[in-house]
Amino acid sequence: MALKSRPSAYRRLQLQHADYINAVETLGSAVRQAGPLEEKVMQLVQLGAAAAIRSEGAVHSHVRRALEIGATTDEIHHALISITSTIGFPNVRAALSWADDVIGKLGSPKKPSRRSMK
């Protein structure tokens, strides 16, 4: 992701602590290359983790990244509601609200649900 498209808080941190951010980005690159998961799947997994720790900023980040690589609103919502039994309804509801903050700004195509295709 180009530096300009990153949130201003991230850009400030990169200017203040360039070596640290470079190390974090190198770790991210190594993780992406370490296994068979596709980028979209990894972003949805990380979205679930962000929701689990109630990190609004990380939810925003992973929703934005997922949308940029082609995830749909339905996929993002399904990734979040699928963890309800693990993190609880209130946490999922909060994460859905944070996800919709980004979806509302960037938009996302909706794929037809399996139910509507029957």
Question: Could you give the domains of the chain?
Answer: 37-108 (1.20.1290.10)
pTM, two decimal places:
0.82
| Measured distance CA(1)–CA(28) in Å, rounded | 12
DSSP character for 27? H
pLDDT digits (tens, 9 = 90+) for 16-75: 999 999 999 999 999 999 999 999 999 999 999 999 999 999 999 999 999 999 999 999
